[in-house]
Chain A
Amino acid sequence: MPRPQENPKDGSSGSDALLGLSQEYKYGFRTEIEKESLPPGLSEETIRRASALRGEPDFLLDFRLKAFAKLQEMEPPSWGHLDRPEVDLQKIVYYSAPKKKQAHDSLESVDPELLETFEKLGIPLEEQKRLANVAVDAVFDSVSIYTSHKRKLMEQGILFCPISEAVREYPELVKEYLGSVVPIGDNYWAALNSAVFTDGSFVFVPPGIKCPMELSTYFRLNDREAGQFERTLIVAAEGASVSYLEGCTAPSYDSNQLHAAVVELVALDDADIKYSTVQNWFAGDRETGEGGVLNYVTKRALCRGRNSHVSWTQVETGSAITWKYPSCVLQGDGSRGEFYSVALTNGRMQADTGTKMVHVGKNTRSTIVSKGISADRSSNAYRGAVEVRRGAANARNYTQCDSMLAGPECSAHTFPYILSRNPTARLEHEASTSRLSEEQLFYLQSRGIDREAAIGAVVGGFCKDVFKELPGEFAAEARQLLAIKLEKSVG
């Protein structure tokens, strides 16, 4: 059935673009840009040279070298329900930056090619076109291009800048928190990231401050050989709160691109962090599975303070392989962790994603709501762990894990792990599997609803508990994104 193509809007709303609304992967274009790169290959020497090129302080070089040493002793994790291609770390470029680089205070110093790229993606960076209540950090091949609304945030003491800038401007803060949630040797991909991470966002919200706008980072992976290794660090001090959203797209290449990111969140007493992701990396060829982004990401939050609260919401709709478990360590008494996830796989995509809730403090609570949708010949696995430590009296967890299948050749898997060392803990787990069927769509269509809206309504119903966690306009857009992606898969 013909359907009007969605075009990214170029002013009123950046969310269409953040989500990559398009039936075909229309963000597959590549930007020709003058770059400065190191040759491919990973060694102590590369790390030193990249660090020097970025003008990094010594503590960071130390951090990187330690991580590199760890990496040498490690192997890529193989426990995921994934058929992984080998990744040759020596073939990857670890330093690639637009020539006119580094933190821009005004748009005039930004390469017009880059502005055009973000314009094309519908991420408006120009002053007059900015999203009214969203501050955007635009990251192009791991280099932050521009951060909007910076001054306005500074007035309240909120720091929102590229992490490359933060290591120079706020070294004490970075030193204190970097690697405090995800240790350098946490896993192979995290160790790699710690050794080579290029850029990403840094957020610090001082005590008692409620961040007045959404903070958003838009990641664009452009270079064919460059890996994307961004690093995000968000710290909410006592009583502070912040909501952060990341969106991602990449060009269509027939070779795999590696994306190994690390995100660390730290919430002190009574602090509140909400972290939302809409991931729409290129997923590879729909039929053959060739190419696409390998999304190996380590995201973890430390609820360090009493009654602190972290909520992860993710809508994962792209990447050839997704290996990702945004987790919470609930250390402070009375702290709360939440994980809301929609993972859609179609074509030949593979996802192994979920969360880990580690209850350390007393009266800690966690909620897990996972919705997996698999279509075509894709494979979609939920993997989640709930761990209650000995001292976590009265810990509570509620897990709900639902799978929806569209088509006869896809698969859904659920791997829940529960480990409780405290007899007062109360843990609940619910799971279901359903089918997105032609009968359902026919029913809705027979009431005059068009096919795309029908898919949107059924899938939106399935994902309701997750979408309602997304900030503002993004819920409706996420629903539409799923509908577009599934339209060709249901039959």
Chain B
Amino acid sequence: MSAQNSGAMLKIDDLHATLVSDGTEILKGLSLEIGRGEVHAIMGPNGSGKSTLSKVLAGHPAYAVSGGTIGFDGRRIEELGPTERARAGLFLSFQDPIEVPGLGNLDFLRLALDSRREAEGRSPVSDAEFAELVDGAMSLLKMDDRYRTRDLNSGFSGGEKKRNEIFQMAVLKPKLAILDEPDSGLDIDALRVVAEGINSVRSPERSILLITHYQRLLSEVKPDAIHVLAHGRIVKSGGPELALELERSGYDWIEGA
């Protein structure tokens, strides 16, 4: 990857992160750079720190950055709270999205959209504009109308939750989307729909960090680069062919994995 520093969407440099609760270090000097418009995938064995990386990037309060820097769109963000990071254009698709009974799915989405617009000094979204955004994303993701009336993730199946995450991304149009295993628990049809959703937000202005265990998703969403995360740092990087290699040989080659 040859993106200029100034042009990088995400530039992580020697990042160390610990669990606030007991001080355990999970990320141990991780460096990674994603250029504008690029899609990078992170693979790696269970417990290597993939989900932690996604949460640290989004500003989860359970983790503390104990060293290194996170540059996002030309700005240091490791000191910012999750709200500010999101307003700067960062989005995290959760591996296991939480449920909020009583909070309408679309009410939530509109609140999120308006929060970001407010931060950008824009007026709240109009009914017509919101309807257009929602209708477009819903048809893209082949979502039925029940998503409109249900409460946020409340009673959703695992697959429905994943689809809802991608739906939110499609409406919010972040600069950088971090997708934490958007494919886990999906059947092949749902996987295709989710992949289509992910591909739909690809643009020269947007970047994606895709965390996955499976080559399957990567054949639908073609990454520009693949990184292997183990023991809290990137141990290997390569092109799309690396995924196939990993599918064949697993992670046994990583010492101690």
Report whether A446 and B92 are in contact in the complex, using a CB–CB cutoff of 8 Å.
Answer: yes
Report whether B61 and A438 are in contact in the complex, using a CB–CB cutoff of 8 Å.
Answer: yes
Q: Does B3 contact A (CB under 8 A)?
A: no
Q: Which residue of A lies closest to B117 (CB)?
A: A448
Q: Which residues of B contact A440 (CB under 8 A)?
A: 98, 100
Report whether B115 and A447 are in contact in the complex, using a CB–CB cutoff of 8 Å.
Answer: yes
Q: Which residues of B contact A453 (CB under 8 A)?
A: 111, 115
Q: Does A278 contact B (CB under 8 A)?
A: no
Shortest Cβ distance from B19 into chain A, in angstroms? 13
Q: Which residues of A contact B94 (CB under 8 A)?
A: 443, 446
Report whether B111 and A449 are in contact in the complex, using a CB–CB cutoff of 8 Å.
Answer: yes
Q: Which residue of A lies closest to B108 (CB)?
A: A457
Q: Which residue of A lies closest to B90 (CB)?
A: A446
Q: Does A261 contact B (CB under 8 A)?
A: no
Size of interface on A: residues with Cβ below 8 Å to B: 25
Interface centre among A442, A450, A457 (most CB of B within 10 A): A442
Q: Does A118 contact B (CB under 8 A)?
A: no
Q: Does A1 contact B (CB under 8 A)?
A: yes
Interface string of A292-317 (1 = CB under 8 A from B): 00000000000000000000000000
Instruction: Given A1-B81, A448-B83, A457-B108, decide whether A442 and B101 contact each other with a Cβ distance below 8 A.
Output: no
Assembly CA distance A446 to B80 (angstroms): 12
Q: Does B150 contact A (CB under 8 A)?
A: no
Report whether A462 and B86 are in contact in the complex, using a CB–CB cutoff of 8 Å.
Answer: no
Report whether B115 and A443 are in contact in the complex, using a CB–CB cutoff of 8 Å.
Answer: no
Q: Which residue of A lies closest to B58 (CB)?
A: A446
Interface size class of B (residues with CB under 8 A): 20 to 34
Q: Does A439 contact B (CB under 8 A)?
A: yes
Q: Which residues of B contact A443 (CB under 8 A)?
A: 94, 97-98, 100
Q: Which residues of A contact B108 (CB under 8 A)?
A: 444, 447, 457
Instruction: Given A438-B61, A446-B59, decide whether A451 and B100 contact each other with a Cβ distance below 8 A.
Output: no
Q: Does A101 contact B (CB under 8 A)?
A: no
Q: Which residue of B lies closest to A445 (CB)?
A: B82
Shortest Cβ distance from A156 into chain B, in angstroms? 38
Q: Does B26 contact A (CB under 8 A)?
A: no
Q: Which residues of A contact B38 (CB under 8 A)?
A: none
Report whether A446 and B82 are in contact in the complex, using a CB–CB cutoff of 8 Å.
Answer: yes
Q: Does A464 contact B (CB under 8 A)?
A: yes
Q: Which residues of B contact A19 (CB under 8 A)?
A: none
Report whether A462 and B82 are in contact in the complex, using a CB–CB cutoff of 8 Å.
Answer: no
Report whether A442 and B87 are in contact in the complex, using a CB–CB cutoff of 8 Å.
Answer: no
Assembly CA distance A447 to B61 (angstroms): 15
Task: State which of A461, A463, A465 has its C-beta within 8 Å of the C-beta of B100.
Answer: A461
Assembly CA distance A127 to B87 (angstroms): 44
Q: Does B62 contact A (CB under 8 A)?
A: yes
Q: Which residue of B lies closest to A1 (CB)?
A: B81
Assembly CA distance A453 to B97 (angstroms): 19
Shortest Cβ distance from A352 into chain B, in angstroms? 25
Q: Does B142 contact A (CB under 8 A)?
A: no
Assembly CA distance A465 to B61 (angstroms): 31
Residues in A434-491 with C-beta less than 8 Å from chain B = 434, 437-440, 442-451, 453, 457-458, 460-465
Q: Which residue of A lies closest to B120 (CB)?
A: A448
| 7 residue pairs bridging A and B, Cβ less than 8 Å apart | A1-B81, A442-B60, A445-B81, A445-B86, A446-B85, A447-B112, A449-B115
The residues of A with any CB-CB pair to B shorter than 8 Å are: 1, 434, 437-440, 442-451, 453, 457-458, 460-465
